[in-house]
Amino acid sequence: MIKLFFLKRYKSICTFFLFLVLILKMIAAKGFYCYNKKDNSFAYHHQHESNYNNNKYYKNSNNLFRIKNGIKHKKKLFIVNKSYHVSSVDKNNNNLLYLLNKKHVKKKINIFQLKLNNNCMNKNVNLERYRNIGIIAHIDAGKTTTTERILYYTNVIKKIGEVHEGMSTMDYLDIEREKGITINAAVTTCYWNGSAKDLGDYRINIIDTPGHVDFTAEVEKSLRVLDGGVVVFDSSEGVESQSETVWKQANRYNISRIIFLNKLDKVGANFDACIEEIKRKLNKKILILYVPVFEMSNFISTIDILQEKLIVYKNSHDFQYEKIPEQYYNIFLKYKNLLYEQIAEKFNTFLDKYLNDVTIKIDEIEHYVRKLVIEEKYNVVMCGSALKNKNIHMLLDLIVKYLPSPIDSIKNYKNQIIFKHDVNKKGEKLISRDFSSNNKSLRRKEVYKVDINEHDKLAENREKVILPVSRSIGTDSSSIGTGISSSSSSSSNVDNPSCNPSDSNIKLESFKNDKSNDENMKEKENSFNLYKTNKEAISFEKEEKKTFEFMSEELNEKNIKDYKRKVVGLIYKIMNDQHLGNINYARIYEGQINKGDYIYNNRTKKSEKISKIFFIHSSEKYELENARAGDIVGLVGLKDTKIGDTLSNVFLRVELKKIKDIPPIISFYIYNKNKSEYEKLINALIKIKKEDHSFFYHINPDTKDLLISGVGELHLQIIINKIQKDFNIPIIYGQPQISYKETFIEKVEARGKYIKQSGGRGQYGDVHIIVEPMYNYTEQEEDEDDASNMEANVEEEKNNDKQNCQENTDQNCMNIDTSEVNNNIIIKNEITCGAIPSMYFDAIYTGIREQCNLGVLYNSPLINIVIRIVDGSFHPVDSNEHAFKLAASLAIREASRKTSVRLLEPIMNLNVSVPTEYLGDVISDLVRKRGKIQHIDESDEFTKDISARAPMASILSYVSDLRKITKGRGNYTMALHRYSLVPQYIQEQILQKKE
């Protein structure tokens, strides 16, 4: 009975226990939900409000969950191991209640709270206090660690997450945490008011960039929209390969930089050696403001040159200023004099004070240093240890004091503008008019300004004057203005000798009356002309006002703060979100953009609506109502966008310079295990290509393989991992096959005869051909051609490369187009005397071409040959098109048996850029790969450019070899040159592998 009861009542018992558990949880929480009739809302009330309000975590948070009148209140997100905990709060609440049962947290967690209402949305920071910076460096220099400390000390996060533990805030991708490196350039924002809390609030927008060479494109995109940067160096390694690369990228965009010598606590750290290497390789103009103090090779403290104090840390977070000990005072004087001398070289006022021993205030020195950093591109040097939390406060002070704001970067922004003009509602270009006093139209408008009452009077006069004017003056416009026509006509009547003398008295009286009428007519005509002129002036004024509404002033330091200006922005990054679609990361340069506005894309020539605007913090997004000049935000709603697109107001046409493309240098073939999901794979590649402008994909026309191309092996491995995990597509990948070709190197005759008899009507076809090579492949002639044409080809190749870079900015140099090469077969018909009827010629041509495409040696196409059809025979009954098609194919095979067929391999043009110290090693490595050096140029004092040609089979993985030889400092590009003969011994090896 009991069993039957439980079987029948099982569902109801489960429901009862569920309700019981909920009630017990509410009692344990010491609170309950209740319905409020006044507010028509549900609210959570605590039983002990007095104790509840005394707790700093619960204060001003009485309503945890509240929906009032159907309106959702603002939400805040708390992130715990990538899961979202939403708290809905009242508008007046400043603090949030965060309840988390630690029993449910299995892994070690990194909890952070972004105070969006206090720190981001409601903080009005002037544009002068904006800082858009990037953290750039070589891999493992400490970029993400430095960013993590910055977020911690600016109260954005509550706990420091370490990179080696996979808990850093900015490295939010799973693959980033697995490998311990930054792959995606992440954005965040923080506020800083100085280490002494005396500077006022500054807003710092930060982009943490990758350091690996395979992700140089992420750094390029980020630096394009930044005003300043912090370049982090490993003090034990000095200037590394990627440090040089990012430095050159920052030079390209004229970005002001702070040098942060990190890892001074590491064994082997050498401050002086780093300074000398930076001066030698990067920039001689550096200003040292902080000097480390070592004791037995241990980093213990730092000397602040401007404050003339010693920074001593009590513990891992707290520090204090102390007097400089006598033993370190000479070091301080050395760097102080050096700094003052550098400033005095540029500013005469400072020089006078310095020479006359006048006391110079710190604020004045900071003013001069800021001018040198922004205008003269000096670099301020800072030192410390991010892992040990040393000198991060001072680094933040340097960022807000010396790096430029968007106002200081107006000149850089203007240099990026290709064209800019206003348009009207029809899209027509508006040209700014001359509103000076010399403008006749303006003078006319000013002269004929009249009151409204005068217009009414003129209108009445116009009605009276219409008929007389039409009778007396006709259509002469000049007479209207002067009134001469009527008087001249009357005078002509008086002086006319043919008039009747008996009517003279009558005419005299009428003449007097006409004269008075003429005077009235003149007044009326003049008033009508004045009315007409004023009407034109008013209409002109209205048109000018309408035009002036669409005109925008030239950007300067004052009107950039006017957020009513027409908006201008640049998309530098695109990320695909599972729920929101494409999020376009954009930098706003001018004006303000609101949610719901339409914005014009200069590339597509279309306007699209902004549905949402997001404030970005790492992987998290917070919706905003608008974005202003200086902001870096995410825009949702734009469908047809690409990286580098310029966005503007619908009445403004602007084109900014594109972001430089990073050419791919390595390819993999991929295909999905499930052939039915091929379309799904292509859609995934399209989305990845939209996000990453250094990634390409194409289909090899010879091997029919789907190839993906990128900057390096790690780059492609990350993309493959993304396809498999994010898009759930199982794929197989590997190095691509070489597109070999085949050719004849000697003249040969062959006959192909196809005869088949099967007891009825048979098949008969007979074709006689001569195959000869199109070119002479002797090595001596090839070397002579190379020597004679080398100089001419060098200039042509340089010009072609420049044109290709300008015209085809989105070109995939790894997509080797061999369509013209494949068609390089000439067939000549030399049959005479009707040996083969003309009806079979098409079949013979088809048979020859099909066999040439299939190949005869390595299943590779035959190219660069001339085939002459010289003879043949046919049977009047058994011959047909199929028989002659097979006979032509047999003739090609027979020709290959009579002579040797050789393989052709693609030869690539290589442009290798290497440091001078590695030149010999790179050249010897290219020679081992069967490469031929064409010429060597000197690009600058420390870099050499090598132009070479090498077979593609030898340089498939050249990117790895080159980076090993040059320690990551070398790079190259390649393009197809032509097909050349494979050496005999290598051909034998290739054929053996095939067997």
Compute the average pLDDT of residues 443-465: 39
CA–CA dist 952, 908 (Å, integer) = 6
Strand partners, 829: 869
At 313 the three-state DSSP class reads strand
- Please check the confidence at residue 441 and state whether its pLDDT lies above 80: no
Instruction: Return the pLDDT at 951.
Output: 92
CA distances 963 to 712, 869, 935, Å, are 10, 53, 21
Which tokens belong to 171? 């490295």
* Beta pairing class for 75-80 and 112-113: antiparallel
Q: What amino acid is encoded at 336 in this protein? A: K
Residue bearing the bigger pLDDT, 812 or 649:
649
- Please check the confidence at residue 167 and state whether its pLDDT lies above 90: no
Strand order in the sheet with 112-113: 83-88, 75-80, 112-113
Instruction: Return the pLDDT at 677.
Output: 84
At 445 the three-state DSSP class reads helix
At 904 the three-state DSSP class reads strand
Strand partners, 735: none
pLDDT of 476-524, one tens digit each? 333 333 333 333 333 333 344 433 444 444 444 444 455 555 556 655 5
* Beta pairing class for 865-873 and 825-829: parallel
Compute the average pLDDT of residues 813-833: 67
Helix H or strand E encompassing 527 = helix 504-550
- Please check the confidence at residue 291 and state whether its pLDDT lies above 90: yes
Of 422-431, 557-566, 789-798, 859-868, least confident by mean pLDDT is: 789-798
CA–CA dist 906, 700 (Å, integer) = 14
Instruction: Return the pLDDT at 528.
Output: 52
Q: What amino acid is encoded at 107 in this protein? A: K
CA–CA dist 905, 978 (Å, integer) = 8
Name, in order, each residue with C-beta under 8 angstroms of 687's C-beta and a sequence gap of 6 or more.
576
- Please check the confidence at residue 458 and state whether its pLDDT lies above 50: no
CA distances 941 to 914, 917, 934, 944, 972, Å, are 12, 11, 21, 8, 18
Q: Give percent above pLDDT 70 in the chain.
A: 71
pLDDT of 658-693, one tens digit each? 998 888 888 899 988 887 888 899 999 999 999 999
Instruction: Return the pLDDT at 124.
Output: 81
Strand partners, 37: none
Which tokens belong to 995? 């067997």
Instruction: Return the pLDDT at 164.
Output: 81
Instruction: Return the pLDDT at 583.
Output: 95
pLDDT of 749-779, one tens digit each? 999 999 987 767 788 999 999 999 988 876 4
Name, in order, each residue with C-beta under 8 angstroms of 184's C-beta and a sequence gap of 6 or more.
173, 176, 210, 218
Which tokens belong to 618? 């790492």
> Which of 222-226, 915-919, 983-987 has maximum average pLDDT?
222-226
Name, in order, each residue with C-beta under 8 angstroms of 461's C-beta and a sequence gap of 6 or more.
524, 527, 528, 531
CA–CA dist 135, 233 (Å, integer) = 11
Instruction: Return the pLDDT at 700.
Output: 82
Of 592-606, 612-626, 732-746, least confident by mean pLDDT is: 732-746
* Alpha-carbon torsion (82, 86, 91, 94), positive or negative: negative
How many residues are recorded in the chain?
995
- Please check the confidence at residue 655 and state whether its pLDDT lies above 90: yes
Helix H or strand E encompassing 314 = none
DSSP classification of residue 403? S
Of 95-109, 531-545, 567-581, 966-980, least confident by mean pLDDT is: 95-109
pLDDT of 75-115, one tens digit each? 333 333 333 333 333 333 333 333 333 333 333 333 333 44
User: Can you list the domains of the chain with their CATH numbers?
Assistant: 33-109 (no CATH), 116-404 (3.40.50.300), 433-485+518-550 (no CATH), 561-656 (2.40.30.10), 666-729 (3.30.70.870), 742-804+812-903 (3.30.230.10), 904-994 (3.30.70.240)
Instruction: Return the pLDDT at 26.
Output: 61
- Please check the confidence at residue 830 and state whether its pLDDT lies above 70: yes
pLDDT of 141-164, one tens digit each? 999 999 999 999 999 999 998 888
DSSP string computed for 810-864: T--TT----HHHHT-EEEEE---TTSS-GGGHHHHHHHHHHHHHH-SSSS--B-S
- Please check the confidence at residue 807 and state whether its pLDDT lies above 50: no
CA–CA dist 189, 620 (Å, integer) = 12
pLDDT of 733-747, one tens digit each? 988 888 889 999 899
Compute the average pLDDT of residues 367-384: 93
Query: In 633-759, which residue ranges form alpha helices assigned H by DSSP?
Result: 678-691, 713-725
Instruction: Return the pLDDT at 805.
Output: 40
Which tokens belong to 451? 């009151």
Instruction: Return the pLDDT at 943.
Output: 85
Compute the average pLDDT of residues 375-381: 92
Which tokens belong to 637? 């709603």
User: 543 falls in which pLDDT band (50, 70, 90)?
Assistant: low
3-class SS shares of the chain: helix, strand, coil, % to 5: 40, 25, 35
CA distances 761 to 137, 754, 861, Å, are 80, 14, 35
- Please check the confidence at residue 310 and state whether its pLDDT lies above 90: yes
Of 425-439, 792-806, 939-953, least confident by mean pLDDT is: 792-806
Burial call 321-345: b when 16+ CB within 10 Å, e when fewer:
eeebeeebeeebeebbeebbebbbe
CA–CA dist 166, 176 (Å, integer) = 8
- Please check the confidence at residue 10 and state whether its pLDDT lies above 70: no
Instruction: Return the pLDDT at 455.
Output: 42
User: 57 falls in which pLDDT band (50, 70, 90)?
Assistant: very low
CA–CA dist 104, 106 (Å, integer) = 6
Instruction: Return the pLDDT at 252.
Output: 92
pLDDT of 112-133, one tens digit each? 334 443 444 446 889 999 999 9
Instruction: Return the pLDDT at 549.
Output: 56
Arithmetic mean of pLDDT over the chain: 77
Strand order in the sheet with 731-734: 696-699, 706-710, 666-672, 731-734
pLDDT of 837-883, one tens digit each? 989 999 999 999 999 988 898 888 898 899 999 999 998 888 899 99
Of 254-263, 304-313, 453-462, least confident by mean pLDDT is: 453-462
Q: How many CB atoms lie within 10 A of CB 443?
A: 11
Q: What amino acid is encoded at 939 in this protein? A: S
Instruction: Return the pLDDT at 79.
Output: 32
CA distances 516 to 44, 328, 460, 528, 972, Å, are 96, 109, 21, 19, 97
Taking a C-beta distance cutoff of 8 angstroms, is the pair 134, 209 a contact? Answer: yes
pLDDT of 920-972, one tens digit each? 999 999 999 999 999 998 877 788 899 999 998 898 888 889 988 998 888 88
Burial of 86: CB neighbours in 10 Å, binned 0-12, 13-18, 19+: exposed
DSSP string computed for 350-387: HHHHHHTT----HHHHHHHHHHHHHHS--EEEEE-BTT
Name, in order, each residue with C-beta under 8 angstroms of 24's C-beta and a sequence gap of 6 or more.
none
